[in-house]
Amino acid sequence: MDSVVAMRSFIRVVETGSFSAVAKEQNTNQATISKRIAGLEDKLGTRLLVRGNRTHTLTETGKTYYERVSNIVMEIDEAEAEARSLTATPKGHLRVTVPTMFGGMYIAPVISEFLATYPEISLDFKFDENSVDLVKEGIDVAIRLGDLQDSSMIAKNLGYDELIIVASPEYLEKNSTPTKLEDLENHNCLIYSLSPKKGTVWVFSDPSKKTEVGVTGNFQCDNGLGLMEMLQANAGIALMPRWMVDAEIERGELTHILKDYYKRYPISAVFPNNRYVPLKARCFIEFMQKTIKTDPVLSKIV
């Protein structure tokens, strides 16, 4: 039995809680994963996992063993990656999660260029508006928009964007154009429900103070596409990422209002802090940095 391979399988079963999920990750079957861990237990002469129908629990010995072998395998991976990076080209399977709209507009269009640059890398993309558990899902890199809260992650800055207040010219003509922040209380505000405080408080950046205002409206959703459809249907005012609405503003389809109020936020590549960053992931992060730095919209926000 290859002990390192068995250790990797054991680590991932602990992290995902699923033999079948690990089997899928490692392109094998559930019986093979179970056999590897059983082989570890036989070699060690002790039980590591208490297997259940739905969940698997670590024994006390299993907890100690998991902590030790996680560090050992990470050291092995780091040493191998360092040696390969001196001579080898980036290769392997890279799993990335990105926000649905941002990924569709800014990342998907350049993926063919990335793969042409690094032909020995294969990509597995997960488009999701929610912040998935990177360790449990086996994700190498996540692209995140906004201020980061999870201290267990390491973040690499890719650039910045701003949330700005917009509405259609038709809506403003019918309902009047707000001239001060307090005027928003008298307007139908379209709410992004995944924002802090469920989007009912809009918070703005200011060099000297933090400004915020409570908003209400008859529509909320967890996807920017829904907000865009409502904006273009002249249904209200929304706080939107500049990258999503810049083209519509240029064409006159939307109007940027209350321009003194905006929320600047980082665009980040995130990965677990207890893992080395393999060459394939470093190449992807550097590629995205260059992409954002040369983007005609995002490059203006520094």
For the chain, domains (ranges, CATH) are 3-87 (1.10.10.10), 92-159+266-300 (3.40.190.10), 161-264 (3.40.190.10)
pLDDT in tens, the chain (302 residues): 588 888 888 888 888 888 888 888 888 888 888 899 888 888 888 888 888 766 778 888 888 888 888 878 877 876 776 666 655 678 888 999 999 889 988 899 999 999 999 999 999 988 887 777 787 788 889 999 887 766 567 788 898 899 999 999 999 999 999 999 999 999 999 999 888 777 889 988 875 566 889 999 999 998 888 999 999 999 999 999 999 999 999 999 999 999 989 998 899 998 876 556 778 888 999 999 999 888 888 877 76
Confidence at residue 255, expressed as pLDDT on a 0 to 100 scale: 97
Dihedral through CA 56, CA 59, CA 63, CA 69, nearest 10?
Answer: -80
Confidence at residue 302, expressed as pLDDT on a 0 to 100 scale: 63
Confidence at residue 84, expressed as pLDDT on a 0 to 100 scale: 63
The model's pLDDT over 156-192, given as tens digits with 9 standing for 90+, comes to 889 889 999 999 999 999 999 999 999 999 999 999 9
Confidence at residue 151, expressed as pLDDT on a 0 to 100 scale: 58
